[in-house]
Chain A
């Protein structure tokens, strides 16, 4: 990745509506949203973008993007995106999902879409908990991490270990771009933007499935203030290392 080449954006993204985000203070959805809108603008695909909103904190995706958006049932975003892309290959199709949606209830649909090399871009916001429902155990919860359904912390003898989705997808020949990013420092924000751009190029250049996993702070459910939550993301990188795991773009 070469973040230096990217010109810092100075204007409000065309693909974003002006509606204020409903996200909690310190949540990283807002940053990810803005980056996604910037990338859609930069690639000039707003008028052929098709987004799939999933179930979770980001289910209101359609309030914030000035692009066509369809809502999928919980976990089925990658299947719905597959149908849309196959029906109209000229569309630039993306999903925006949480770790519960993508990696728990929807793991089958997610993995098979990646294995088929669907020309779609999947974005997974990994905050290690079910945010919208109040902070329950998710497939990416860290060992020992307290959630509302693991009040004593995630016990690996009971719940096993977190799923490292980016590392799994990197094994798939159908995946053309796969990265894990964070947005808790300015440098990482720029790297995340570049990863998103490439995850779209994967489909625009007809190479395969594009995937970007965002490590995202959830201050409310982590019971931390926004600044401490952003710092906490550094700890997550020990279990979920940042980087590009596969890049055919």
Chain B
């Protein structure tokens, strides 16, 4: 198949179309406008629905309405817009709706900036809205992976009846790379909960208010069980683990710079491994635990003030040292910057 040269945001939109996304609702915000613009061109041609909403608040509630009828639908935004959607995220999780949301994140807090940032890691993995819930969170590191993970998000969200979020950033969203738009197998799951009209069946209800004694507790226990079951979807890319003394960990677009730094260090003979979580929730604890048990130390590199490092520390449970290289936006590090830090980490020992 011939590769096409597309931006990360376009690859996400193409992945959604490949997965059979029928409806898109969104509100303009930089740096993700390529997603709604591609959807506005492509969805109507395929008999689907594109609708620009009056706000992110309206967009995410349109998404709620659409997915409640059992069709595949999505929205996308960037950090401040995602904050606006947070209220409804809580409802999507409570109603167990398979909605797909994309955050092409930018710097914060507040209006922040429009450059690459990973400041929304906590917001993505801890739910953002009120109450006890999680989203399934996937984070691509290449344009090919953005395409494939978006399609996967549709499948997993249906498999678990669970909202799924793609967390990427301005860097991956805006850069171009060749994409092989190969056909993907996206499994479908029965939708015996969808509100598509009570024809020949009892009426259905999607609600999140539980006032009876014990009802809400039972409901939360059920969600908790589901989140535990989702752990089997945890994925990470692990390289050069053999004989490593230090593992450098990063996610998303930054992981590519980090990978280059790790490879520079290995060429010089430093025993360094590379770990990249692909799923941010569930967090892929296993490779971290295994490396920690072998005495491997960690260096966690992030484009924020240090967020994922907390999940790494929880995963290794005090068995090894975890250092944080926290790089808040707006400058990107060069591979050499990270290489120097790797060297320092290893020399100190």
Give the interface of A toward B (CB within 8 A).
46-50, 52-53, 59, 62, 65-73, 76, 79-88, 90-91, 108-109, 112
- Near A by CB (< 8 A), chain B positions 316-332 give none
Shortest Cβ distance from residue A172 to the other chain B in the assembled complex, whole angstroms: 14
> A84, B195: Cβ atoms under 8 Å?
yes
> B53, A79: Cβ atoms under 8 Å?
yes
CB-CB under 8 A from A81, the residues of chain B are 65
> A84, B207: Cβ atoms under 8 Å?
no
Bound complex: CA A79 to CA B25 (Å): 10
Q: Does B145 contact A (CB under 8 A)?
A: no
Q: A82-B62, A87-B49, A91-B196 are in contact. Are A69 and B54 (CB under 8 A)?
A: no
> A73, B87: Cβ atoms under 8 Å?
yes
A50 — nearest CB in chain B belongs to which residue?
B195
Range, interface on chain B: 35 or more
Give the interface of B toward A (CB within 8 A).
22-23, 25, 49, 51, 53-55, 57-59, 61-69, 71, 73, 87-88, 91, 95, 195-200, 202-209
Q: A52-B65, A73-B87 are in contact. Are A83 and B198 (CB under 8 A)?
A: no
> B61, A83: Cβ atoms under 8 Å?
yes
Bound complex: CA A76 to CA B71 (Å): 20
Shortest Cβ distance from residue B23 to the other chain A in the assembled complex, whole angstroms: 5
Bound complex: CA A214 to CA B3 (Å): 59
Q: Give 20 CB contacts A-B under 8 Å.
A: A47-B197, A47-B200, A53-B207, A62-B205, A62-B207, A65-B203, A66-B202, A68-B204, A69-B203, A70-B65, A71-B206, A71-B208, A76-B58, A79-B59, A79-B65, A82-B58, A82-B62, A83-B68, A83-B73, A88-B69
> B71, A67: Cβ atoms under 8 Å?
no
> A67, B65: Cβ atoms under 8 Å?
no
CB-CB under 8 A from A85, the residues of chain B are 65
CB-CB under 8 A from A91, the residues of chain B are 69, 196-197
Which of B25, B61, B65, B88 has the most C-beta atoms of chain A within 10 angstroms of its own C-beta?
B65
Q: A50-B197, A62-B205 are in contact. Are A108 and B61 (CB under 8 A)?
A: no
> B22, A73: Cβ atoms under 8 Å?
no
Bound complex: CA A83 to CA B67 (Å): 8
Q: Which 6 A-B pairs have the closest CB atoms?
A: A83-B65, A83-B62, A79-B61, A80-B65, A83-B66, A84-B65
